[in-house]
Structure 1
């Protein structure tokens, strides 16, 4: 199985806002949806899917296990609760949301529990999120690298994560990029805007196309139907080698997300 290259994210969206976002996304052509236990919107996402009329077999649903639920006695029950909220018998991908080195649960324990969830048919694929190299190595030691479908990490033109992404490529672990637009900060970047003007594209399309051309999956979110539809057009935008080289110069280690106690030491 593979990870879709383009999906819709739901971080920070709840209630009718996320219901409308997911419904609009599905209506304009998205088929992959990313959520998480800590987003507290799985039930809303489930409602939006149910109301959309899109067949379950046509969807790729991802959720993530929150820190208190990563232990061997809690992970499977928590995932079953997520499935009930999402109104589905299984998800396509389940990730450990953060390595959380101070929570008392080892990488071996949480990954073994996650693998058991797959054996039980609760999830088709398993993976990790926000795992630096050392924690990714531990996950590989626990379940084997072939079992890890992706590492979902923060990536943007301002945070290109060259060391980690090179390691993941070497290991054959797919990269999923979140926060690709850096909370919208890259949309006003002069370099991104110049490239967008050359291609008669939007800055968002350029940024998403950059990530796609590097081989990453992307999961941008929006509350606006027009933006959701516009973002999808990034799949058809081909940046030149010169464009990609320009964007490469924007690296500034501009990390947006690094919660204390959840993040391990970044590479």
Structure 2
């Protein structure tokens, strides 16, 4: 069943499953079973982070599912307290050890943390370039980077991020950052794809869902897929996990896509911290 998930080709030639399973705010105690169940349903992309505190349990979930390592796309992210080069190297190895793998498919700088380390995420990025060069990270990218952050990387480093994982959903389309990514070959990954559930009661979304005989979550996730976003909803509820996977047997027409896009509230729609000040 996993082969129904479309893939997106990254700027380094690697591919990434467009739908994944996120484990943010899933407790370590629940993460192993959640990952195993997600893989049983058909997910093949698992998104975790050092800051989530559940890398070891995610790795156990992959092993419990009985899949070969190369069948599962694994992403993790650098913790905000490990941006200095020596700290980043140690933290990356700790992720490999916790997940019990010798490589990651994708490794990200989790936040630019511009108020720390004199804002020197550039030196951190150069360390990630080392991980890519030695093969321990097949692809490298960033998360929560704004256009000025990306422009600085472009001016001062050699490797263009493969992805930028940002908050994006119908209430925060984040189109300026997405447009920069599209122009420069950086794939957008959307975190909080349903605005922490806020959009699921929106009258536009519920109306579209009723017309299509789908759930509001399915409608919003399908909107992301058709925009080209990589998306990874999270849930520990088996029925919801399966529901979120069932978005490839219908499509939204252009008018419906536009109805959802018009829900954008700009910065007023943001549910998480702003990358310019967080950290």
TM range (shorter): over 0.9
Q: Normalising by structure 1, what TM-score?
A: 0.94
Instruction: Specify the alignment match of 1:264 in structure 2.
Output: 276
Large movers: runs of 4+ above 3 Å: 142-145
Instruction: Specify the alignment match of 1:156 in structure 2.
Output: 169
What secondary structure sits across from 1:236 in the alignment? coil
Task: Determine if contact 2:24/2:48 at 8 Å carries over to the other structure.
Answer: yes
Counterparts of 1:264 and 1:3, CA distance in 2: 28
Instruction: Specify the alignment match of 1:31 in structure 2.
Output: 44
Q: Which runs of 5+ in 1 are unaligned?
A: none
What secondary structure sits across from 1:220 in the alignment? coil
Instruction: Specify the alignment match of 1:132 in structure 2.
Output: 146
What secondary structure sits across from 1:93 in the alignment? strand
User: Which stretch shows the higher mean deviation, 234-243 or 207-216?
Assistant: 234-243
What pairs up with 1:67-216 in 2 under 5 angstroms?
67-104=80-117, 106-144=120-158, 147-216=160-229
What secondary structure sits across from 1:235 in the alignment? coil
Q: Which runs of 5+ in 2 are unaligned?
A: 1-13
Q: Structure 1 residues 144, 4: CA separation in 2 closer, same or farther (over 3 Å shift)?
A: farther
**Is 1:43 aligned to residue 56 of structure 2?**
yes
2:251 to 229, 238, 246: 238
Counterparts of 2:99 and 2:154, CA distance in 1: 29
Task: Determine if contact 1:14/1:44 at 8 Å carries over to the other structure.
Answer: no
Task: Kindly provide the CA deviation profile for residues 190-234 of structure 1, in whole angstroms up to 9, marking residues without a partner as x.
Answer: 100111111111100100000110111101000111111111111
Counterparts of 1:144 and 1:204, CA distance in 2: 39
Structure 1 residue 15 displacement after superposition: 2.2
Counterparts of 1:60 and 1:70, CA distance in 2: 24
Task: Determine if contact 1:79/1:122 at 8 Å carries over to the other structure.
Answer: no
Structure 1 residue 57 displacement after superposition: 0.7
Q: Normalising by structure 2, what TM-score?
A: 0.90
Instruction: Specify the alignment match of 2:234 in structure 1.
Output: 221
Counterparts of 2:82 and 2:228, CA distance in 1: 31
Aligned length: 262
User: Which stretch shows the higher mean deviation, 116-125 or 213-222?
Assistant: 116-125
Instruction: Specify the alignment match of 1:56 in structure 2.
Output: 69
**Is 1:18 aligned to residue 27 of structure 2?**
no
Structure 1 residue 265 displacement after superposition: 6.1
Task: Determine if contact 1:132/1:265 at 8 Å carries over to the other structure.
Answer: no
Counterparts of 1:144 and 1:154, CA distance in 2: 26
Counterparts of 1:171 and 1:91, CA distance in 2: 23
Structure 1 residue 4 displacement after superposition: 1.5
Q: How large is the RMSD of aligned CA atoms in angstroms?
A: 1.4
